[in-house]
Chains A and B, each alone.
Chain A
Amino acid sequence: MRKSLVRDIAALIVVAGIAVALLLVFPEKQAAVTSTSWNYLVEMIVILPGVMVIMGLFAVWMPREAVARYLGHAAGVKGMALSLFLGMLPTGPLYVAFPLAAGLLKKGARVANVIVFLSAWACIKLPQELVELEFMGARFMTLRLALTVAFVVLMGVVIERLIGKGEDHVYPEDVVEGDTHE
Chain B
Amino acid sequence: MNFTVLVVNAIAIAGVIIAFYRDGAKAVRSLKAAAVSFVRILPMALIIILFIGLLLGFVPPDQISRFVGEQSGIGGVLLVGAVGALMHIPALLSFPLAASLLESGATVTAVAAFITTLTMIGTITIPLEIKELGKRLALLRNGISFVVAIAIALIMGLIL
**Chain A interface residues toward B at CB < 8 A:** 1, 4-5, 8-9, 11-12, 15-16, 18-19, 22, 26, 29, 32-34, 36-37, 40-41, 43-44, 46-57, 59-61, 94-95, 98-99, 101-102, 105, 111, 115, 118-119, 122-123, 125, 127-128, 130-136, 139-140, 143-144, 147-148, 151-152, 154-155, 158-159, 162-163, 170-172, 175-176, 180-182
Contacts and interface: CB of A to CB of B under 8 A. Distances in A.
B16 to A, nearest CB: 6
B75 interface: no
A123 B120 contact: yes
A133 B2 CA distance: 11
B34 A98 contact: no
Interface of B: 1-2, 4-5, 7-9, 11-13, 15-16, 19, 26, 29-35, 37-41, 43-54, 56-58, 91-92, 95-96, 98-100, 102, 108, 111-112, 115-116, 119-122, 125, 128-129, 131-134, 136-137, 140-141, 144-145, 148, 151-152, 155-156, 159-160
Nearest to A147: B152
Given A40-B49, A60-B30, A170-B133, A135 B16 contact: no
A61 B30 contact: yes
B146 to A, nearest CB: 11
8 contacts: A50-B9, A139-B160, A143-B159, A144-B116, A147-B155, A151-B148, A154-B148, A170-B134
Given A40-B53, A158-B144, A171-B132, A148 B100 contact: no
A47 B5 contact: yes
A57 B49 contact: no
A-B interface, 10 closest residue pairs, ranked by CB to CB distance from nearest: A37-B53, A56-B34, A33-B57, A123-B119, A8-B43, A98-B132, A56-B33, A50-B12, A135-B95, A53-B12
A53 B40 contact: no
Contacts of A171: 132-134, 137
Contacts of A101: 132-133
Contacts of A144: 112, 115-116, 152, 156
B36 to A, nearest CB: 8
Q: Chain A contact residues: over half helix, strand or loop, or mixed? A: helix
Given A32-B57, A54-B8, A147-B156, A98 B129 contact: yes
